[in-house]
Amino acid sequence: MRELDDDEGRRLVRIIRRGTGSVVTWRRAQMILLSAQNMP
């Protein structure tokens, strides 16, 4: 898993907050965000 840049992170947060799109997209975004936050 690679680190996210700011733009990517913001886009993911926006997707998650808005809750639009398919559940799969939402879940994937959430997983990416969580794994990115857990990086040392």
Q: What is the pLDDT of residues 12-35, one digit of tens each?
A: 778 777 766 677 777 887 888 888
Q: What is the model's pLDDT at position 28?
A: 82
Residues in CB range of 25: below 8 A, 6 or more apart: 15
Rounded to an integer, what is the distance from CA 30 to the centroid of its chain? 5
Report helix, strand and coil shares of the chain as percent, to nearest 5. Answer: 70, 0, 30
Model-level pTM greater than 0.75? Answer: no
pLDDT given at position 21 = 63
Question: Does 1 have pLDDT greater than 60?
Answer: no
Instruction: Decide: 15 and 29 in contact? Cβ < 8 Å.
Output: yes
Round to the nearest angstrom and report the end-to-end CA distance of the chain: 12
**Domain chopping of the chain, boundaries:** 6-37
Instruction: Look at residue 36 in the predicted model and tell me its pLDDT.
Output: 80
